[in-house]
Amino acid sequence: MVEEMHPLGKIKLVQLQPAGLIIETPSGYFYDASRRVEVERLWITSKGIEATTSDGERVLDIHHLDHPDKAYDDDDLVCIGFTSHYEAMRARFGEHMVDGIAGENITIDYDQEVWMEDLGQKLAIENKITGQMTLLDLVCFAAPCDEFSHFAAQSQDKRLPAPELKAILQFLNSGRRGFLLVLCDGQEAATVQPGDRVFVVKTT
């Protein structure tokens, strides 16, 4: 078997969630995009995403296995999204759907929408400084939640009718909201940053 790599754009931005983006208020649950933290680079380990702030503080993403408030599965450690999907979201919902607003860790600049069948089983990220190639296993697409759907529709203060909410969830599903990955077995921890190249790895 031979592994072939196909270009999938470059990383545009990296970020993490020190706390979850869904908050509880007296009037219900809301999606708070302001809780995202954009950083210069991410550190990907077998336990998930972390970063170091400008003042030297180590910050864990909410999905990291060591995060004290982690309440998710163990196969959602890294999340990626694509600028092409944001173009589609802006066309449907409006300009508030800026790149990265869905909270994924890595936003990739790519001019075509991407689906599970396009990605195969693995992705590779090439560090633009060191040339290190880091392999990630694709787990599944990130299913959208009700709170993010209401945020997209600018209807967080008013519950959407069931048929409209269903249509939005379907639109954001199948990868448009993002994809979940984990570091491949045996891979060393790696730094990723804007400008790093991303590849689909396919076995032939």
142-161, pLDDT tens digit by residue? 999 999 999 999 999 888 99
Determine if the pTM surpasses 0.85. yes
Output the DSSP codes for 117-151.
HHHTTEEEEE-TTT--EEEEEEEEE----HHHHHH
What is the pLDDT at residue 203?
78
Listed in sequence order, the residues at least 6 apart from 47 whose beta carbon sits closer than 8 Å to its beta carbon are: 64, 65, 66, 77
Degrees to nearest 5, angle at CA 167 with 200 and 76: 40
What is the pLDDT at residue 2?
66
What is the pLDDT at residue 27?
82
The two beta strands, 3-16 and 197-203, are antiparallel
Torsion of CA 9, 13, 16, 21, to 10 degrees: -100
CB 135 within 8 A of CB 201: yes
Query: In the chain, which residues have pLDDT < 70?
Result: 1-2, 71-72, 204
What is the pLDDT at residue 1?
63
- 85 sits in which H/E element: helix 83-93
Which amino acid makes up residue 95? E
Residue 86's region, left for phi above 0, alpha for psi from -120 to 50, else beta, is alpha
Question: pLDDT (tens digit, 9 = 90+) per residue, 191-202?
Answer: 999 999 999 998
What is the pLDDT at residue 120?
86
Listed in sequence order, the residues at least 6 apart from 31 whose beta carbon sits closer than 8 Å to its beta carbon are: 21, 22, 145, 147, 148, 150, 151, 156
